[in-house]
Amino acid sequence: MSTVLEQIEQQIAKLSSKAVRKNTGVIRTVADGVAKIDGLSDVMYNEMVSFPGGAIGIALNLEQDEVGCVVLGDVSRLKEGDEVQTTGKLLSVPVGKGLLGRVVDALGAPVDGKGPITSSESYPVEKIAPGIVVRKSVSQPLFTGIMAIDSMIPIGRGQRELIIGDRGTGKTTIAIDTIINQAKINKVGLASGDPKFRPVYSIYVAVGQKNSNIVRTIGALEVAGALEYTVIVAAPAADNPANQYLAPYSGAAIGEWFMENGMDALIVYDDLSKHAVAYRQISLILKRPSGREAYPGDVFYLHSRLLERSARLDGKGSLTALPIIETLAGDVSAYIPTNVISITDGQIFLETDLFNQGIRPAVSVGLSVSRVGSSAQIKATKQVGGKLKGELAQFRELAAFAQFGSDLDAKTKSQLDRGSRIVELFKQPAFNPIPIEQQVVTLWAMQKGFYDSLELKQVTAASVSLREFFATRKDAVLAEIRNKAALDKDLEDKIKVGVEEWKASFSA
Ligand SMILES: Nc1ncnc2c1ncn2[C@@H]1O[C@H](COP(=O)(O)OP(=O)(O)OP(=O)(O)O)[C@@H](O)[C@H]1O
Ligand SMILES: [Mg+2]
């Protein structure tokens, strides 16, 4: 009898009750890419949670008795009652130069079939934007290669400039041109061996676009040799809204790595209208109350916390942002456009009318502005293009007025004549950025009236021919403009000689 008791006592003594703490929950409902989970008491906001089968989710709604998660990856295999675990990690993406030349999804995973990404570091997707103290004001130019923009609406490194316009008005083209121009400048600058040269790396974030459009964009970058300096983050329309919501933040994290490591980067968000729509979709499924135009109340915060991450940091690098917004019938006063206009440092407004008249890029002079960029503009451009914006704005006014009258005085006539020549000069085909030194020469010739004797429809072709002439015969002058970035008497004389030589050969 006693032995049995002893045996039992021994068994009890051996028993150890060690509790393992693991935060697990159970899926209560799953639908439309959102899972409601019971029992995840310790989860953090924006924490990754793991589902069976490898799918991950992000905890977005922390409520009293349940947690709302958006699911990234395959939702179809998840079902009610599945177990969910917290990971203790905030969502992060791989960063570094290994991403250049690659196409990745919203989580930084490669989607271009070129094998794994080489990256040893990762950055959190959401990060608090740099504070005021560590920032520096914008003072270095970022050339878009588009003459109308670089001369009238200049952009500086660390600036946020909105590209806004209706559907199909050339918004993406402006952004791609800018990326291509950076690649061209990088090639020249890196080859020159100048230790002070600072290349610009680009990140193109495609949100909610058709796959065919994204493929076309990648193709354009590849043809121009710009892909090797560019990272593409793709969350196409077919992707679930959670990925579309995340992609801009992932892109920002990739850009921040360059900035934090003393380099300059440019990020394009194409486009934030679709981003807001994806966010609305998620929010409505998460049953967040909707506000104006059915967007959730925090949609302003959605974009401001993204765009505030662009900056120029003291002693480090910069991140310049070109967000894109699509308007409906030119309505810039709609909810999302006004939000983003108020967050950015200016906007490039593209007009459907101009686009249809063949004035491309269809930049509206009156409605476009760059609030900080002029401090970054080089002196040479100011010297040759300082008055252009005023002249062009005046021209538009006069042109509208002159439609009614027949008798125009000589001064008005000459203003109209000049304005229409400037319009012609600024016409520029897609994917054809013009180096800044060539822009200076083109505008110098305008300022000195070298196109005045030409027929209006010859002006665009003449400016192309002038640039070709300088590129082939006056390389030294171009290099001097590039290096000095300002025109002195001596340099202007050299430009004059070149332009006169060209003029003689052009009209001959
Ligand atoms: N400067 C230009 N010269 C000639 N064609 C241009 C120019 N800019 C854009 N285009 C053409 O106009 C069309 C629309 O351009 P793009 O795709 O850039 O517009 P978008 O505003 O981004 O359009 P979406 O609203 O569909 O995104 C394209 O076919 C493009 O080739
Ligand atoms: Mg587009």
Instruction: Tell me the per-residue pLDDT of 363-377, one tens digit each, with 9 for 90 and over.
Output: 999 999 999 988 999
Q: Is 170 in the pocket of ligand 1 (CB under 6 A)?
A: yes
Average pLDDT score over residue span 270-284: 95
pLDDT recorded at residue 22 = 63
Q: Above 80 in pLDDT, residue 457?
A: yes
Q: Which residue has its alpha carbon closest to ligand 1 atom 12? A: 170
Indicate whether 12 pLDDT > 90.
no
Nearest CA residue ID for atom 7, ligand 1:
430
The pLDDT > 90 percentage for the chain reads 78
Confidence (pLDDT) at 201:
98
Active site residue 371: yes
Average pLDDT over residues 35-54: 89
CB 173 near ligand 1, within 6 Å: yes
pTM: 0.93
Question: Which of 10-14, 288-292, 318-322, 395-399 holds the top average pLDDT?
Answer: 318-322
Pocket test for ligand 1, best of 146, 172, 212 (most atoms within 8 A of CB): 172
Measured between alpha carbons, how far is 272 from 406 in angstroms, rounded to an integer?
A: 46
Q: How many CB atoms lie within 10 A of CB 132?
A: 6
Asked if pLDDT for residue 405 goes beyond 70, the answer is no
Residue spans of beta strands (DSSP E) within 208-363: 230-235, 264-270, 318-326, 346-350
Residue nearest to atom 16 of ligand 1 (CA): 170
Report the C-alpha gap between 12 and 337 in whole angstroms: 71
| 428 CB near ligand 1 (under 6 Å) | yes
Give tens-digit pLDDT for 207-249: 999 999 999 999 999 999 999 999 999 999 998 899 999 999 9
Residue 95 neighbours by CB distance under 10 Å: 24
- List the catalytic residue out of 309, 371, 421, 467: 371
Q: Which residues surround ligand 2, an ion (CB under 5 A)?
A: 172
> Can you give the pLDDT at residue 299?
94
Is pLDDT at 89 greater than 70 in this prediction? yes
* pLDDT at position 455: 92
Contacts of 482 (CB under 8 A, 6+ apart): 435, 436, 437
Q: Which atom of ligand 1 is nearest to the CA of 165?
A: 21
What is the spatial distance between Cα 56 and Cα 158, in angstroms, rounded to a whole number?
33
What band does 1 get if pLDDT is binned at 50, 70 and 90?
low
- Residue ID of nearest Cα to ligand 1 atom 11: 170
Average pLDDT over residues 112-129: 94
Return the structure tokens found at 272.
């934030």
Give 431: exposed, middle or buried? Use CB within 10 Å, 0-12, 13-18, 19+.
middle
* Mean pLDDT score of the chain: 93
Grade residue 11 by pLDDT with cuts at 50, 70 and 90.
confident
pLDDT of residue 274 exceeding 60? yes
Could you tell me which residues come within 8 angstroms of residue 126 by beta carbon, excluding any fewer than 6 positions away?
Answer: 46, 90, 91, 249, 305
Determine the average pLDDT of the residues in 307-334. 96
Q: What confidence tier does 412 reach under pLDDT thresholds 50, 70, 90? A: confident
Neighbours of 89 (CB within 10 A): 14
Q: How confident is the model at residue 20 (pLDDT cuts 50, 70, 90)?
A: low
Model confidence at 93: pLDDT above 90: yes
**Cα separation, 263 vs 213, whole angstroms:** 29
> For ligand 1, is residue 77 a contact (CB within 6 Å)?
no
Q: Strand (E) positions, 170-317?
A: 200-207, 230-235, 264-270
Best residue for ligand 1 mutational test, from 146, 173, 426 (most atoms within 8 Å of Cβ):
173
Spatial separation of the C-alpha atoms in residues 240 and 278, rounded to whole Å: 9
Instruction: Please state the rounded mean pLDDT for residues 65-85.
Output: 90
**Averaged pLDDT for residues 483-503:** 96
Work out the burial of residue 429: count CB atoms within 10 Å of its CB; fewer than 13 is exposed, 13-18 middle, 19 or more buried: exposed
Closest-CA residue, ligand 1 atom 6, reads 430
**β-bridge pairing 121-124 and 369-370:** unpaired
Identity of residue 369? V
Model pLDDT, residue 40:
87
* Mean pLDDT, residues 89-114: 95
CA 31 / ligand 2 centre spacing (Å): 31
Q: Using the atom order of ligand 1, give the atom closest to the CA of residue 209.
A: 27
Distances in Å between the alpha carbon of 492 and those of 151, 383, 426, 445, 486?
A: 18, 11, 22, 11, 10
pLDDT of residue 420 exceeding 70, the answer is yes
What pLDDT is attached to residue 73? 78
- Which listed ligand is nearest to 433 at the C-alpha? 1
Lowest mean pLDDT among 35-49, 85-99, 171-185, 340-354: 35-49
Bigger pLDDT: 119 vs 401: 119
Residue 131 has pLDDT above 90, yes or no: yes
Answer yes or no: is the C-beta of 326 below 6 A from any ligand 1 atom: yes
Q: How far apart are CA 365 and CA 60, in angstroms?
A: 42
For a pLDDT cut of 70, what percent of the chain falls above it?
Answer: 98
Average pLDDT over residues 486-499: 96
